[in-house]
Amino acid sequence: MTTQPNFVREELLQELSESFRMHDQIPAELFSRYSIKRGLRNADGTGVLVGASRLGNVHGYIMNEGEREPIEGRLTYRGYNVYDLIHGLEQENRFGFEEVGYLLMCGSLPNRRQLTDFQHTIGLERALPDNFTEDMIMRAPSRDIMNKLAGATLALYSYDENPDETTVENIMRQGISLMAKFPVIISHAYQAKRRYFDGDSMFLHVPDPDRSTAENILHLIRPNGEYTADEALLLDRCLILHAEHGGGNNSSFTVRVTSSSGTDTYSSIAAAVSSLKGPRHGGANLRVVRQFDEIKENVRNWTDEGEVADYLRKIMDGAAGDGSGLIYGMGHAIYTLSDPRAVALKKAARPLAEKTGFSEEMALIELVEKLTPQIFAEKKGLDKPMCANVDLYSGFVYKMLGLPKSIYTPLFATARIVGWMAHRLEEVTSGGKIIRPAYKPLAKSTVYKNLDERG
Ligand code: COA
């Protein structure tokens, strides 16, 4: 595949960009002058209340005398504590992602008959339309699987006989289909990337309708298609922990915004995938892995607190890392003392690290988790708790499972599709109004000049 030639000259780019910078910078003080809720946040950092939901509840602090009081984080799906869901599945030693999808989309936990029927239907829906892999994935492979996933999602519109109808039944049907197909799309997109960009062989396994989502992912991604039961169960738990996170997270809110306009499921979900790709959202799991690769390269003694702390200071100063000043995998908009997803993944990671020879790396991650809040307080002068978020450990677990980096964020999407579809259903049935906030107009009224009069 060849990329398109670039006709936009460097000098032209400079001229256009300079013009933009001259006319379009908005000074920070204007945001406070006009009481603008930047990032839809209140002055105390809490989110602006823009809707109501029965889905995920992300509980990270309590308000006391008008102040945020830090607490251990709690995550519930339709009222069920995610820890209880996982604990129940562990006791019965079975896969649970499909069941959690049922819970989120349909509102209650399925009984045995309902679950079997749901799983069976997902199995039937797994296969991609005829020639979809050849036409939509292999003909235009992408270096980035998230971009391919967004494009493929949008393309599925063409293969749906009833794509636009926004009844509950139709959206539910599309949700089951997307939930079933995401593992196949990301795996085939990954295989195409291997073949066309990495010079490796491509293994196009077919999905197995009788296996769970987690088993299918491992089967489709691995060249030999093999995996152990423990590996598949661990991946299943990862999917459950990523399935939903309230309506305010960037990609679910994207689903809310797009669904409120009445657009179709494929357009709405493709937009959510695009949002999730961002490094401040789902894309952080990839940044975390890159960040640790860099720390491991530049810090001689991984157990030396002083040396690790100095490197973290450099990252926060923008002198190391990706220059953003962010330590990825740390901090959260709502959680304060702990992110329950990070707690669960860390617990799952420990025995796997011992078994796979990654204990030293695990200790380094834990050291970064311990030191970052101290350095954050020292640098920002803020007395604000900061905890590890889900991404600090998710990429590490995927790495120990031998999964390729390029599918870390797509795996997040493969899990979150059920949360997105549940938000879409909720928005379409009870949102009622197009989401349409306001922007303070800042441009001064300007008199039009003919071409010859312009300088
Ligand atoms: N490293 C360095 N600085 C951080 C930080 C981190 N991990 N997390 C927050 N900060 C900084 C912010 O940039 C902000 O600085 P500013 O006031 O100079 O602009 C300040 O701390 C306050 O941020 P806060 O309000 O606590 O966080 P937020 O709600 O705006 O952002 C995240 C939450 C998750 C976007 C943020 O913590 C972050 O970018 N973390 C790293 C990326 C990541 O791991 N994302 C995955 C999220 S699950």
Q: List, for residues 187-201, the tens digit of each pLDDT value.
A: 999 999 999 999 999
Sign of the dihedral defined by the CA atoms of residues 413, 419, 424, 427, in that order: negative
Name which residue sits closest to atom 1 of ligand 1, judged by CA. 326
- Looking at residue 278, its amino acid is G
Predicted pLDDT of residue 432: 86
Q: Which of 326, 375, 392 to mutate to test the pocket of ligand 1 (most atoms within 8 A of CB)?
A: 326
**How would you classify residue 137: left for phi > 0, otherwise alpha for psi between -120 and 50, otherwise beta?**
alpha
For residue 377, the one-letter residue type is A
pTM of the shown model:
0.93
**Tens-place pLDDT, residues 251-278:** 999 999 999 999 999 999 999 999 999 9
In the reported structure, the alpha carbon of residue 332 is separated from the centroid of ligand 1 by a whole-number distance in angstroms of: 7
Cα separation, 142 vs 174, in Å, equals 25
Interval between CA 386 and ligand 1 midpoint (Å)? 9
Q: Can you give the pLDDT at residue 161?
A: 97
Residues with CB under 6 A from ligand 1: 45, 280, 284, 316, 325-333, 380, 389-391
For a mutational test of ligand 1's pocket, the pick from 31, 330, 396, i.e. the residue with the most ligand atoms closer than 8 A to its C-beta, is: 330
pLDDT tens digits, 235-245: 999 999 999 99
Q: Is the pLDDT assigned to residue 1 strictly greater than 80?
A: no
Buried b (16+ CB within 10 A) or exposed e, 348-363: bbeebbeeeebeebbe
pLDDT of residue 25: 85
Confidence of residue 390 (pLDDT cuts 50, 70, 90): very high
Mean pLDDT of 344-350: 93
Atom 41 of ligand 1, residue of closest alpha carbon: 328
Q: Which of 188, 219, 242, 332 is catalytic?
A: 332
The average confidence (pLDDT) of the chain is 95
For this structure, is 332 an active site residue? yes
- Go through the chain and tell me how many residues it has: 455
pLDDT at 108: 97
Q: How far apart are CA 368 and CA 386, in angstroms?
A: 12
Phi-psi sector, 434: left (phi>0), alpha (psi -120 to 50), beta: beta
* Å from CA of 384 to ligand 1 middle: 12
155: left (phi over 0), alpha (psi -120 to 50) or beta: alpha
Q: Whose C-alpha lies nearest to ligand 1, atom 9? A: 331
Q: Does the active-site annotation cover 391? A: yes
Residue 359, Ramachandran bin (φ over 0: left; ψ between -120 and 50: alpha; else beta): alpha
- Please tell me the distance between residue 249's alpha carbon and the centre of ligand 1 in angstroms: 14
Nearest to 180 by CA among 219, 151, 207, 141: 207
The candidate with the shortest Cα–Cα distance to 67, out of 42, 50, 49, is 42
Q: How far is CA 393 from the centre of its chain?
A: 14
**Distance of CA 413 from the midpoint of ligand 1 (Å):** 22
* Sign of the torsion formed by the C-alpha atoms of 345, 348, 353 and 359: positive
The dihedral region occupied by 35, where left means phi > 0, alpha psi between -120 and 50, and beta the remainder, is left
Alpha carbon nearest to ligand 1 atom 37, residue = 331
Contacts of 398 (CB under 8 A, 6+ apart): 238, 285, 407, 408, 411
How distant, in Å, are the alpha carbons of 226, 231, 441 from that of 203? Answer: 13, 20, 53
Pick the closest to residue 429 from 48, 56, 103, 105 (CA basis): 105
